[in-house]
Amino acid sequence: MKNIIIIIVVLIFNINFSYSQKKGSLSILYTFPDSVNVAIREGVKLSKIGCDTCFLIKVSNCDNDFCIEILPLNMVKATLLKYVKLMNRFTIIQGKSIPVIVEFDMNFIRELSSTLQNTGGGYVIRFDPYGKIVSKSFQN
């Protein structure tokens, strides 16, 4: 009987502990090579975004490379903003937490997929798996 009480107490403690974790501990931090971080900062300046955190970063595969698109939040539809608030992926740019969305997310959220595919005009940075910048330009 004593063992059963101990097991129940341990189970209750574990359940309470798991529910008390902060959202921040469940976040995923994306880190990019230094060359890509520099290109992101340049892209933000070239995009003339009004504030340090008024954009999100969309990460996708481009053939054998990676693409990052800097999307000012004023370019995207209001429907996307609710997803931005719920995102648990982020990167740190100049000490600020910036939301990151990945191509995989768009496979499951139809509304998100159509919103991001129709934005256009974001600054795109293409880089290889070693962090070498392949190209940087505004998407038409």
Rounded to two decimals, what is the model's pTM?
Answer: 0.70
**Per-residue pLDDT at 114:** 55
Is residue 37 within 8 A of residue 100, CB to CB? The reply is no
- Per the structure, the complete domain to which residue 87 belongs is given by 22-138
Q: Is the pLDDT of residue 35 over 90?
A: yes
Q: Is the pLDDT of residue 42 over 50?
A: yes
Say if 27 falls within a structural domain.
Answer: yes
Which single residue is written with the structure tokens 């070498």? 132
Say if 9 falls within a structural domain.
Answer: no
The dihedral over CA atoms of 75, 28, 98, 127, expressed in degrees to the nearest 10, equals -80
Say if 2 falls within a structural domain.
Answer: no
State whether the Cα torsion 70-74-79-83 is positive or negative: positive
Q: Look at strands 133-138 and 28-30 and give their pairing.
A: unpaired
More confident residue, 114 or 82: 82
| C-alpha–C-alpha distance, residues 62 and 87, integer Å | 23
In the chain, how many domains are there? 1
- What is the SS3 assignment for 53? coil
Say if 17 falls within a structural domain.
Answer: no
